[in-house]
Amino acid sequence: MKSAFPNISSIAYEGPQSKNPLAFKHYNPEEIVEGKTLREHLRFAVVYWHTFRGTGSDPFGAGTMQRPWDDGSNSVKNAQKRARVAFEFIQKLGAPYYCWHDRDVAPEGKTLAESNKNFDAVAEVLQEEQERTGVKLLWGTANLFSNPRFVHGASTSCNADVFAFAAAQVKKAMEVTHELGGEGYTFWGGREGYMTLLNTDMKREQEHLAKLLHLAVGYKKQIGFKGQFYIEPKPKEPTKHQYDSDAAACLNFLREYDLLPHFKLNIETNHATLAGHTMQHELETAGAAGALGSIDANTGDELLGWDTDQFPTNIYLTTYTMLSVLKYGGFTTGGVNFDAKVRRESFEPIDLFYAHIGGMDAFARGLKIAAAIRKDGRLAEFVKQRYASWDTGIGAKIESGKASLKEIEAYILKQGEVTPNTSGRQEYLENLINEFI
Ligand code: XLS
Ligand code: NI
Ligand code: NI
């Protein structure tokens, strides 16, 4: 097949002095940080949906993307050709992973059987290309939100047949993920929520969502799929409210329905900010529960209130993200998945390279800065000292559950009054972070 990017060779690491826009300045995949290479730490993934299916259309206008390899048709042949182009891109970029929805890679047919046949025909090409390039599948997922049948939700639809369709689609997407050696499988509840509570039986809908996840857990065992299941929190868009609204809501949902041992969270930056949180907050919430699995690396625009899915270039963001990721032991099955799209105005194929190179460099810097902050140790020591009163005396007794309320009262009656006599030192700590950036 003719090359889709004939003027671009493999993107190489040239170091911080390089002025070459098609080179990495900070992402040297072989560089070792905290005992692992950058490649092993970051586990970069390219998303199929934005990068190879994004048209640049918005509510006010048609697509703008120039994708000369794509004939614009919905044929299986075009999808197969596109898959080869995708792998040429991912290989030249040097990302070790990719991710897809079932309907990104293959066209939907008139029936589920036809869709599954199309999916298999493209999956064959994906398999070949994975073998040829060594690029692996980070996770697969089913698109349970685009087709009009999901207008009232997928597993949370008021219509049981729609639930059944969604479940059958998940079954197939899990099978293909398994066949392609996927390291994970993600559930993002695109339309699992409501537009108005006037027509919604919320309890029943949530029970149905849990039912689908239990069915998937059972089927996973049955087919011997060892990949990690993820839930991806998002508060709104397309619905007014989604049941998987943020990390805390997801954890509560998983606990309530006895699903927590089977799932981790896939935290997306732009979803965190839509929920009114920082990415760091969401990562800490997931990490504290032992459920930090993977990240969808993007960023929103502070002035816009929707999921703009921009490529991350903010070094503070990547630093705080990697501080939390390292704190909870790094990625195992997960990775840094660029769920991000080039702007509608960035319509040339080469923009796909610039976007990913920028994101990868930003994360490489964030990782190295985070590791330097950890090595320096002052930040961690400050936090440790801040809680020192819990390490001995009454604090240790309370933490270990050895102090009764009566004993605690006696202790404080003897003290008379207490003074929280240490400063929070936010400004000092912000300056400390800036020493490394
Ligand atoms: C949409 C989500 C979606 C998931 C996969 O906002 O981020 O792209 O990552 O279904
Ligand atoms: Ni996402
Ligand atoms: Ni998103």
Q: Catalytic site residue 214?
A: no
Residues with Cβ within 8 Å of residue 117, at least 6 apart in sequence:
109
According to the model, what pLDDT value does residue 368 have?
99
Of the listed ligands, the closest to the CA of 139 is: 1
**For residue 286, which of 310, 320, 306, 263 has the smallest C-alpha distance?**
263
The list of the chain residues with pLDDT below 70 reads none
Q: What are 69-110's pLDDT values in tens digits?
A: 999 999 999 999 999 999 999 999 999 999 999 999 999 999
Burial class (CB in 10 A: 0-12, 13-18, 19+), 6: exposed
C-alpha Rg value of the chain to the nearest Å: 24
According to the model, what pLDDT value does residue 382 have?
98
CA pair distance 279, 282, nearest whole angstrom: 5
CA pair distance 4, 268, nearest whole angstrom: 30
According to the model, what pLDDT value does residue 44 have?
99
Q: Tell the residue number behind the tokens 């040097």, with chain if given.
A: 94
CA pair distance 1, 83, nearest whole angstrom: 12
Instruction: Give the number of the atom of ligand 1 that is nearest the alpha carbon of residue 143.
Output: 10
- Residue 61 alpha carbon to ligand 1 centre in Å: 22
188 Cβ inside 6 Å of ligand 1: yes
CA pair distance 186, 97, nearest whole angstrom: 15
User: Which 3 state secondary structure label does DSSP give 6?
Assistant: coil
Q: Which helix (H) or strand (E) holds 264?
A: strand 263-268
CA pair distance 114, 117, nearest whole angstrom: 5
- Residue 298 alpha carbon to ligand 3 centre in Å: 8
Q: Let me know: does 105 contact 146? Beta carbons within 8 Å.
A: no
According to the model, what pLDDT value does residue 348 have?
98
According to the model, what pLDDT value does residue 154 have?
98
